[in-house]
Structure 1
Amino acid sequence: MRPSSLPAAAALPLSRRRFGTWLAASAAAAGAGQAALWAGNARAADAPLSSKLRIVIPANEGGGWDQTGRALGAALLASGAVGTVTYENIGGKGGTIGLAKYVEKYDADPEALLVSGMVMVGAVALQKPAVTLAHVSPVARLTSDYEVVAVKADSPIKTPKDLVAQLRADAANTVIAGGSAGGVDHMFAGMLARVAGASASLNYQPHPGGAQVVEALETGKAAVGISGYSEFAENIANGKLRAIGVSSKHPFQGIASVRQQGVDADLANWRGVMTGKKVPPYRRGQLLEAVQRATTHDLWQKTIKRNNWDPYWMAGKDFESFLELDTAMAGPLIYLLKLKA
């Protein structure tokens, strides 16, 4: 359910009355002094729920995760949910390096959030790192967006069917540039290659961010690029790149979907935030409340419209179940698409 459709009092899975009960129980274990501090914050509806917060972004600056993390931080400040926000970028390998560092440094830190999403789910399934999403606790799912398939303006590839034909004819020499190996860009490239019957020959080149994908297209190092709309928008608008399709089931930003154009493939990306496994439950509840407050603020609403993200709110047990299912499906999907690290 999206934040904008929730009544203020019912938006949280935990009411303030139940929160007080939960908080009192936690105080017995955590110590009355510390619990009283959290309780004081919780009683005032407009008071900061945290004096400071660190948002760990498991990617380099400028990409979709970075945009999401910084937009959330700005909304947390604007809503008054937190006093100060700092950002920490830790890029590499589809977020798995940042995930491992977060667990190592902030597993018990009640003032740290980790930006995550489908890219990380796929990267974990492909790379099989020692630290996985089982080592963090879900807080909330925030947004979804779609993959845009783009080519250089003068490319002979005009439609998704042209791309499928090109892959069928010579996939090994048709370079597709996108984000991290195992991520949503890679998955969608795999879907297109599977339609072409060229999964085994897919030539996918991962890049640390959308800017590098754009560069690969403009310099001719890649024939096709796959990334989020916000990362291609400027170059599509100035005519340097041309969008040939989007991974949604319906048109998006005036771009016809790949499926509408006769190629059987669609995929949505999602992003959300996690916290450490050792963070106390009552504090996870406060972090959720802070994020909820931020995502109902006008600044956040304007940001998601500007970036052409879809609100995709989910929290509590629903988000935990969603993440479990997404994680369970990622491995078989990567195997089916024959993706390689």
Structure 2
Amino acid sequence: MTPLSRRKALAHAALAATAWTALTPAAWAQASATAARPTAPKAPKLAGTLRIVIPANPGGGWDQTGRALGVALAAVGAADQIEYENIGGKGGTIGLAKYAEKYGNDPNTLLMGGMVMVGAVALQKPAVDMSHIQPIARLTSDYLVAAVAAKSPIKNTKDLADAMRADLRALPVAGGSAGGVDHIFAGVLARASKAKPEDLVYKPFPGGSEVVDALVSGNAAVGLSGYSEFSDAIAAGKLRAIGVSSRRSAFGLPAFREQGLDATMANWRGVFTGKGVPSARMAEMLAAVEAATAHESWLRTLKSNRWEPSWLTGKDLAEFMELDLTTARVMVYLLKLKA
């Protein structure tokens, strides 16, 4: 390596370390912040048929969020009927690319997305990234639950941290797409446990049900997912919940932070439109989505899934997403992730 190349490499490492230092628990938890909202306006009629593209397989968090939003949009009169199109794979980047190509100028088609997609973009560096869509609103934040099989010797957060520190490679972690929020949080847990994040063995799966199967079968030692995707297996006694990534207890579970492990993070989900959609139509979409999220059907969904409302729009949302992307890129660097 030449002296110049060496200086560049050291500068890159220093930059990443500086960025990581700035990622305090408060910064990680920022995704759960709820902005003040005005009274929701009456929903404009957007279309007879409105389409929502969900860049994930049926049954997961984006699918649940997108379909709940569709029900609420129809209920407030924004559309007569809602069509859903699931396009799963690679943390949402396959759906993102197809959406941008097919619906980039379509004023009647929405796209679901969120932090998982941000992480996948940071990891994969795809030709079509989030600059090809426009954010309408951040809708919800969900916290990550770490769970193990009921027969696992890991009983609590101390056991988990001890096992990670002793031999991280012997403790495969299952979660969503590589580079997504689950993967990033696995690295946060490892680092908080004083293990080496680069030793992490991460097994990505397309949905929460597959993560449950991996834990029950012994294919993974620890699983990470949203509470809604683990709740049935926990209630059935198949899994044991170890902790949650919030700053305080949630879902009746203690937070990692309350158990002495400084690991917090929130998984947010939002709704987007195509880059070619004009600002006037964007404003109508925003008004319709805002009205939908005030409807009782949406509020019931939040309560039943234990999602936290985290409404954010406009410049604040754009800046928040830029910070999220920077965070994800730093973690990709620290974890030495490869697409």
Q: Give secondary structure in 1 for the equivalent of 2:243.
A: strand
Aligned with 2:209: secondary structure? helix
1:96 is the counterpart of 2:93: yes
**Structure 1: 5+ residue stretches without partners:** 10-44
Structure 1 residues 290-312: Cα deviation after superposition (integer angstroms, max 9, x where no partner): 11111010000011100000000
Cα separation, 2, equivalents of 1:129 and 1:331:
13
Counterpart contact for 1:60–1:209, Cα < 8 Å: yes
Amino acid at match of 2:56: A
Aligned to 2:254: 256
**Residue in 2 that maps onto 1:244:** 242
Q: For 1:40-79, what aligned pairs fall within 5 Å after superposition?
A: 45=42, 48-79=45-76
Which residue matches 1:41? none
Q: CA deviation at 1:3?
A: 8.7
Asked if the contact 1:3–1:296 (Cα under 8 Å) also holds between the matched residues in 2, the reply is no
Quick check: which has more Rg, 1 or 2? 1
How far did 1:5 drift? Answer: 5.1
Distance apart, 1:49 and its partner CA: 2.7
- CA–CA distance in structure 2, aligned partners of residues 4 and 71 of structure 1: 22
Distance of 2:327 and 2:196 partners within structure 1: 22
Distance 2:257 2:181 in 1: 17
- Decide whether the 8 Å contact of 2:137 with 2:313 is kept in 1: yes
1:322 is aligned to 2:320: yes
Residue in 2 that maps onto 1:7? 39
Listed as ranges, the matches of 1:175-254 within 5 Å are 175-195=172-192, 196-254=194-252
Deviation at 1:337, TM superposition (A): 3.6
Contact 1:251 1:257 in 2 (8 A): yes
Return the alpha-carbon distance in structure 2 between the equivalents of residues 123 and 248 of structure 1.
Answer: 22
4+ residue runs of structure 1 moved beyond 3 angstroms?
Answer: 1-5, 337-341
Please give the alpha-carbon distance, in whole angstroms, between the structure 1 residues aligned to 2:256 and 2:85. 36
Note the aligned Cα RMSD (angstroms).
Answer: 1.6
Report the Cα offset of residue 283 of structure 1. Answer: 0.8
Q: Which amino acid aligns with 2:184?
A: M
Q: Which residue of structure 1 aligns with residue 267 of structure 2?
A: 269
Identity of aligned residues (%): 60
Deviation at 1:46, TM superposition (A): 6.0
Of 154, 157, 165, 1:157 maps to 154
Of the candidates 119, 127, 131, which is equivalent to residue 128 of structure 2?
Answer: 131
Give the whole-Å Cα distance in 1 for the aligned partners of 2:285 and 2:80: 13
Distance apart, 1:126 and its partner CA: 0.8
Deviation at 1:235, TM superposition (A): 0.8
TM-score, normalising length from structure 1?
A: 0.86
| Cα displacement string for residues 1-36 of structure 1 (whole angstroms, at most 9, x for unaligned residues) | 869952245xxxxxxxxxxxxxxxxxxxxxxxxxxx
Compute the displacement of 1:74 (Å).
0.7
